[in-house]
Structure 1
Amino acid sequence: MASGFNREVAFMSIFAIALSVIIFVAVSYALFFTVNKFREDKNTDAPAQFHGNNRLELILVVVPVVIVMFLAVLTVRSMAILNPVAEQTTKIDVLGRQFWWNFSYPETKADAGGDVTNGNEMVMPTKQPVALTITSGDVIHGFWAPNIGGQRAAMPGALKTWNVDTDRAAVYQGNCTQLCGGSHANMRYKVVALDQERYTTFLAAAKAYRAPEPAEGSAEARGYELFMKGNPATGALACAACHRVQGTTAAGAAGPDLSFFGTRRTLGAGMWEAMTPEHWEAPDAKAHLHAWIKHSPKVKPGSLMPTYDGSEYEVNGKLVKGGVLTDEQIDDVAAYLRTLKLPEEADYWNNTPVYGSSDAAENAPTPLAKTSSPTPGGKQ
């Protein structure tokens, strides 16, 4: 058990269960002993009659009180260990929205402005407590990564603090635990725990990061223009209106931060995962990214990302007609997204084992549901 939080909870749980078993056995023994000793076929005479027994009554009151007080002291002790946020603790802000997560590092200001932020993948150090400040931008969500600690509600308009930790460098799974809409089960994230040296390298690179400028006339440059401006002639909205990319004018907050998209190995908050080094360059990864950009709500029900095939999608209960990008234009946008990478030495996925997986077969990508090009303007 790599998490101090989990070890403390396990200690309390095991102790309480063990004490309950002892009490159950003692009470059961006393019950069956009394029933057997004083049953009618062994005692023909009427038992002695008495009214009240001060010693017995005192025992029956004092013993439960002592047990409850003892458990209360242990509980308060555990709360004192788990709840406080130390001044020197690493701090991460967690924002949950339908149906994705943003993880910001308030103590690390990006050279390009704003907090260092990563979408759907939380990078944290090992062997020290990490203080999370959790909130929601819409409905109630539940933040839970079982390998690093317990769960906490993410509530709109409220800031909830939570301490997590782990002794083991690994990639862990996180999930939303509060039913929050059509893609509640698809609101996943990864926790990547690094040793202190690698974590420091990641933060330093993320702080200095600026999105690269694409070469003029390249597919990436065309994708950059579409990302920033969209295509007004066909009603295609600009990605920058909803997404932030560090070091550019893209500062949207309605969608997950895309600053390090090319380094990430998950798409759509865990709708698709790639654990291989080439990840986004693999043909199936390119196909999934293309399908995601083209018609995100079909891949992930409830997604508020606009469609780019001219079909309708639902926003706040109303159908809205999406814009149109050609397949070539979508590929250009995807090419630009793949360039948004941290330096190789700051790639937090490299050589970080996936918890619970021991071979490449278990780490194989999980494919998305196959998508087909919907009829423009049709309901999805």
Structure 2
Amino acid sequence: MKKKSVLLALGVLVLGLGGGALAALPSLPTPSILDVASPNAREISKLFWLVMGFSIFVLAVVVAFMTAGIIGGLRDRNHDEEPPQTHGNLKLEIAWTIIPLIILAILLVPTLSAIYRLEGYAAPEDALEVNVVGRQFWWEMVYPELGIVTANELVAPVGQPVRLNLASGDTMHSFWIPQVAGKTDLIPGNQRAMWFTPEREGVFYGQCAEICGDSHANMRLRLVVLSPQDYEAWVAAAQRPAAPPEDALAQEGAQLFVQKGCINCHAVQGVNAYNRAGPDLSHIGSRTSIAAGMLPNTRENMIRWLRFTDTVKPGVAMPNLGLSQEEAERIAAYLETLTLPEFDLRAAIRGEGPQNHVNASGYPVDEAGSLSETEIASMEGDR
């Protein structure tokens, strides 16, 4: 009896500690196939619940047999006689072979049906076309019909089909935004495609789902779904270059951007910088995050990124330029001015007015899904 009490107390303690640990986790929005935002995701969610239902049924049956066996063993534990020994049971072996086959056969029908509905139809002719290239460890987004290039944030209008032409620029990746579609692998040398229709406005978080290197876990992306009016305003703004910097600090940063060789890898619309080895920075000041979703887009985080690139994101192709604090501050001030003309994407996400959101400093940045200050400080301390 004493032994049982000790085991029971330990079990309660473990459950209590586990529950406390879960409660202490930050409440960040997590990509989920259960919170669907497109017909494609709904098909996947239905299949998930069907498989989950069968799994729970099988688990219940197994636990019932285990419980019956344990209780029966406890009742007979004081008997001196050895229990009967059974070696093989043909009927039981046939049963536990046939029953799983029947369950799998039942699941096969809705699975094949869902695959056909998801992949058996081409995207509608009016679908928005976006070319997506996965690179270590970021995403390039190109709107070929609109002449827009951006990175890590895919912007689309609600209710319009979106066709993604997927390719890899180096190794294998997998494009996955669970709330709108399933995973699609990006294989070097192969062109893949997928499409979906977002049903509601908001920000939906995605992730590379194929191990692709040191910073695979931090190869994130965001789908920003806007109203048709806001989307049209975003397109008009994204097709125009950012205004030249007027602040003296930002002007010095623009000069350093050239002198330090940043233009050799990054394109900036309206400036003599057309290279695409790294993300296009034409309107980086308007993005909600930097470093492929790792850091909220603030000047302080941009300075951290410029100075400690290889520490914040190990394995990234961007070299450490050895910038001083002052040089990083000036370049960060310049990049902060590269915003969408007369449109504030963050205000549009929050639903503040239909269109023509004028950029203003001091807007709170959407920090969901990004690294915390403690995590960033820890990385810098490890340097």
Q: Do both proteins adopt the same fold according to a TM-score greater than 0.5, normalized to the shorter chain?
A: yes
Contact 1:145–1:151, Cα closer than 8 Å, also in 2: yes
SS of the residue 2:286 aligns to: coil
Identical-residue share of aligned pairs (%): 33
Alignment RMSD:
3.6
* Corresponding position of 1:91: 129
1:286: how far off? Answer: 2.5
Of 275, 278, 288, the residue aligned with 1:252 is 275
Contact 1:96–1:102, Cα closer than 8 Å, also in 2: yes
Letter in 2 for 1:246: Q
Contact 1:205–1:342, Cα closer than 8 Å, also in 2: yes
Letter in 1 for 2:224: V
* Corresponding position of 2:72: none
Of 183, 187, 192, the residue aligned with 2:224 is 192
* Corresponding position of 1:152: 184
Of 312, 316, 320, the residue aligned with 1:303 is 316
* Corresponding position of 1:212: 243
Counterpart mapping for 1:44-193 below 5 A:
71=110, 74-75=113-114, 77-79=116-118, 83-109=121-147, 116-193=148-225
Distance in 2 (CA, whole Å) between partners of 1:193 and 1:68 is 34
Distance in 1 (CA, whole Å) between partners of 2:218 and 2:369 is 18
User: For residues 160 and 247 of structure 1, do their structure 2 counterparts lie closer, same or farther at Cα, with a shift above 3 Å needed?
Assistant: same
Whether 2:295 is the aligned partner of 1:272: answer yes
**Structure 1 regions of 5+ residues with no counterpart?**
23-62, 110-115, 231-237, 275-284, 310-324
Letter in 1 for 2:331: V
Letter in 1 for 2:254: Y
User: For residues 174 and 373 of structure 1, do their structure 2 counterparts lie closer, same or farther at Cα, with a shift above 3 Å needed?
Assistant: closer
Distance in 1 (CA, whole Å) between partners of 2:303 and 2:111 is 56
SS of the residue 1:250 aligns to: coil
SS of the residue 1:172 aligns to: strand
* Corresponding position of 2:252: 222
**Structure 2 regions of 5+ residues with no counterpart?**
1-35, 58-101, 352-363
Contact 2:139–2:152, Cα closer than 8 Å, also in 1: yes
1:129: how far off? Answer: 1.5
Letter in 2 for 1:204: A
1:20: how far off? Answer: 10
1:307-353 CA-to-partner distances (Å, cap 9, x unmatched) read 122xxxxxxxxxxxxxxx33222211111100000034x32221425
Letter in 1 for 2:255: E
Letter in 1 for 2:156: M
Contact 1:169–1:353, Cα closer than 8 Å, also in 2: no
Contact 1:16–1:71, Cα closer than 8 Å, also in 2: no
User: For residues 229 and 243 of structure 1, do their structure 2 counterparts lie closer, same or farther at Cα, with a shift above 3 Å needed?
Assistant: same
User: For residues 11 and 327 of structure 1, do their structure 2 counterparts lie closer, same or farther at Cα, with a shift above 3 Å needed?
Assistant: closer
Higher percent of residues as helix: 2
1:271: how far off? Answer: 1.7
* Corresponding position of 2:92: none
Contact 1:3–1:167, Cα closer than 8 Å, also in 2: yes
Aligned residues: 294
Whether 2:358 is the aligned partner of 1:350: answer no
1:261-294 CA-to-partner distances (Å, cap 9, x unmatched) read 10012121122125xxxxxxxxxx3222112111
Contact 2:127–2:163, Cα closer than 8 Å, also in 1: yes
1:59-99 CA-to-partner distances (Å, cap 9, x unmatched) read xxxx99x9799658734651466x41222101111111111
Contact 1:194–1:348, Cα closer than 8 Å, also in 2: no
Contact 1:121–1:190, Cα closer than 8 Å, also in 2: yes
TM-score normalized with structure 2 length? 0.67
Distance in 1 (CA, whole Å) between partners of 2:133 and 2:379 is 32
Distance in 2 (CA, whole Å) between partners of 1:178 and 1:76 is 20
Distance in 2 (CA, whole Å) between partners of 1:86 and 1:183 is 35
* Corresponding position of 1:8: 43
Letter in 2 for 1:248: V
Of 328, 331, 340, the residue aligned with 1:330 is 328
1:167: how far off? Answer: 1.0
Letter in 1 for 2:125: E
TM-score normalized with structure 1 length? 0.68
Contact 2:296–2:366, Cα closer than 8 Å, also in 1: no
Contact 1:298–1:371, Cα closer than 8 Å, also in 2: no
1:149: how far off? Answer: 0.9
1:122: how far off? Answer: 1.0
1:112-136 CA-to-partner distances (Å, cap 9, x unmatched) read xxxx111111111111211001111
Distance in 2 (CA, whole Å) between partners of 1:290 and 1:351 is 26
Counterpart mapping for 1:351-370 below 5 A:
351-353=348-350, 363=368, 366-367=372-373, 368-370=375-377
